[in-house]
Amino acid sequence: MNKYEVPSDQWPSFMDQFSRLHQGKNVDVTIADDKTQTKSYAHAAPLLGIVDERHGASDESIELILGNPSDGAQSHSIARPSRICVAEWNDAYSAELEIESPDGRRMLIQVGPSEQLLEPGVIMDGIQTE
């Protein structure tokens, strides 16, 4: 697993890339606050997209959109995000995105099962994992 923080100037392009890579895949979404209270927001919901909306220096939000286009969608926004971290597994499918707000709230978006990790050194389609 590789975990890193995404620089804020790269958030719009990163969200677009993450959305394209994982669009339609089922995600689990958890909302956590700074007091370690967590609440499940969605379980096995199809990801439609994640959008970084910037309307000025102090008016930015990250919007998570879940559901099926034909059945309707639900969304959740994090206003004025302060930090975004991503962890990507070496199975080319699983990832976890953490979006943090200034008040300590975090939205955790998990794509794919974390328990299905590949051991380093496994060879898939002629490519060796690190």
At 121 the pLDDT is 57
pLDDT in tens, 87-120: 987 666 788 999 999 888 899 999 986 555 455 5
What's this model's pTM, rounded to 2 decimal places?
0.79
Please report the DSSP string for 12-59 in residue order: HHHHHHHHHHHTTSEEEEEEE-TTS-EEEEEEEEEEEEEEEEESSTT-
pLDDT in tens, 21-40: 999 999 999 998 877 678 88
Q: Which of 16, 94, 88 is nearest to 52 (CA)?
A: 16
Q: Angle at CA 108, nearest 5°, toward 104 and 20? A: 130
Q: Please tell me which residue, 70 or 56, carries the higher pLDDT value.
A: 70
Instruction: Indicate the CATH number for domain 2-115.
Output: 2.70.180
**Mean residue pLDDT across the chain:** 83
Q: Please tell me which residue, 1 or 16, carries the higher pLDDT value.
A: 16
Residue with tokens 């990250």: 62
Give CA–CA dist 53/83, Å, rounded.
15
